[in-house]
Structure 1
Amino acid sequence: MERVGTPAGDQSREAIDSLRGYVYQIYQSALAWTELEEDGFLFLEIAEDFSVVADSALQAVQVKETAGRITINSDDVVASIDSFVQLREKNPNLDVSLRHLTTSTIGKEQKSAHRVNDVPTLTAWRNLAKTGDLTQFRTVLGNSKLSKSTKDFVSSLNDSELRDQFLKKIHFDCGAPESRFLARQLNSRVSKLVMERGGVHSQAADCTARMVLSLLRLATTKNRDERVVGRTELEKHLERATQVVQNRANFEEQNRLLTKALSATASTGSELSNTHFAKPRPVSEVPLPRALAARKSKINDIALSLELYGMSWVSGAAGMGKTVAARVAALRAGGNWASINLKGLNSEQVAPILSEAAAAMHDYDIQGILLDDLECKLDPNVSDSLHYLLHSADRLDVLTVCTAPNAPPSDFLSLGQGKISL
């Protein structure tokens, strides 16, 4: 397959500020590599830290791992927004989008002239991408440190165009997972790909290490046109992890001996249980009860929580209607929703199910996911797996509803955001 041309970009922004940020960048790049479509290509350090080209669409990602808070006038934020406009201008035939990933959180601008209705501009950004008056937002951008070319571009767009061509195309993924957690997320994704090709989970760590090493080497290549990988290169790593080259005659002889040994010792049954993740069941397939009036206010609360935070944790005793309320809110949100029933499962069963669901989420075209009846104890393994799933959902713009008998731990939802009690 013929490769697409290298996207044009600002070469002055190709430097890596620190080793820590560089490692974070490579992990993010490797994760994007595993998500490439068959005709996709991954470019390293093309104006942004990496960009993915597939189906004539360019997604550039500026990756930073820093401390503190960011605002609309932070240097990195300004540079990313300006770079987005530059990428659009230099690649008119591509659909350009940008994700600014950082471990920093969103801060409140010091001056009211730099905030939208006293809300941090980067927080208001996502809400305004859906609906709302853009007048004050335009004023804030006009008062910001953005370049003149970026401000001129914004001024040239009407409200509909501003949402579709600007607000919806730029995402600020703040509070991104630290590199240590991101490495686990990457390994889970690679593990899924390895097992789909007949391998085992233990082969994933070595495959992940080889992928990261190859990206590190590729990123230091002086020729910019060579800093690109595709699905073919990924498949080579997966093949190396799961297959062994052997002389055919030796293989056939070993296979004959193995078959003979198995036929002599094979048991008639097995008591092993299987807790592997199954494809989530569509929420729309489950019939709803007719009487929903008593839950209308709670359903509205769940729907509002999804609109504001993208997540809702619904807690209450058995028989309170948590599942029904969650499903109605999911149907109201629209799109394809998947449901995973966790009722009666213990921690050892739930942890791998959540991890596999997180790793597989990219493969399903869903608007949201319902984790139904999370009854088990949230031990460290379950907690990590749940964090992983929520991060995956956040990264893929997938809404999440969880029903459980107890309220969520404080580290899952800040300031009670998204918490509904029945």
Structure 2
Amino acid sequence: MNGLGGTGAQQSKDCSFAAGSVAGAPLRVSWFLVILFLSQLVDAINEHQLPLWVRITQVTVNELLLLFTVLCHEMGHGTMARRCGGTIAEVLLWPFGGICFTTRGPTQDPKQSLTNELYIVAAGPATHFPMSFAWVVLLGAYGAAVSHVVRPSSYLYLVPFGSPPPPCFNPGWEGCFHSYSGWLMYSFLARAIQLNVMLFLFNVFFPMYPMDGAKLIVCSLQLFCGASARCAAKVLLCTSIPLSVIFIGDALLSAMGRSFMGGRGGGLQPSIMAYMGIMCLSESYRIYRLFQEERLYTHPLFALARSDTTRVVDRHGATTRLNTSERDDPEAAAAPQVQFSEIRAFAGQGRSLGEVPSTAPYQNLGMPADSRAAWFHTGCRLKRMEDDQAQRNKTVRELEDERLVAKR
């Protein structure tokens, strides 16, 4: 996630601690992430299916794999922001993933700003491709080292929602791991591949703002589909708000199931989902307020909502001036429908070449002949004035071309 507005910034300042730096950028870790990790450790200790050290190792290494993957994802955003002229203020790791607080490079072109925003947003999910490839290679190499174990092909773990389970552990069976250390190593490598696949799908194909998928849709609609900023904002609101409500409703149902069905539930997971849904709903409401106030141009995703210049037509003609308005540009009105009429051959009222136009078309206007003639001559005089004005507005090149044509 490339920013959650004021909520993420406040979390970074008040509820986190410094944890060093990454590529010159300060790294902070949320205390809520520590609480979630301790909760998972308590759940693992209460289980009795595996030895205690195996359960603790599973929770710890899985958490480290998640943090490493999220950190690479966020550094993808930050590195691209640097390439576009910006900087990385800091990186925050918290229960919802991570936030890379970045600044944007100085640019006066709204379209270029939106293009840079698209590059920055897409750079995060793009990091999952090389990471997945690296983990698949490592899993394949480890599988070749333990060739006596029956295992699925490494690339099958790239299949979302259908990845095979890791090999079995049984010291007395051929084809299974005979030690917990070997079984854990294989499980961690497979888990790393699945984690990258799921995070990529969640960030790209889950259009809930401020997830990367919602930003990709908004930027693509404006840059590639020719949609206006206000139209893109409507699409964003129509996808983000229902998904936020679904997140909150699913969290409430999980909590009710834990309370009324006697199950353990998901620990802190329902609370985290509900909190995330509420934050996303608040961010969507902020965009809705900007939409109502016609100030979408103040949001980095809708820089095209207001043009830098405006075209003004007055008695001196059409001029281009700086746009000093503090509101979005009005949306273009729909093109008027073309009225088709029946065409009949030889049914027109034409005139021969060289014939002086008559006032016949004006005879049915219900006015005296003198008035009709005066009206006709006034129209001719206005036509001559328009032609003279058009002649004066011609460039030197156009006048030179006309002179050459006349000379030929």
TM-score normalized by the length of structure 2:
0.22
TM-score normalized by the length of structure 1:
0.22
Structure showing greater relative contact order (alpha-carbon pairs closer than 8 Å, 6 or more residues apart):
1
The structure with the greater share of residues assigned to strand is 1
The structure with the greater share of residues assigned to helix is 2
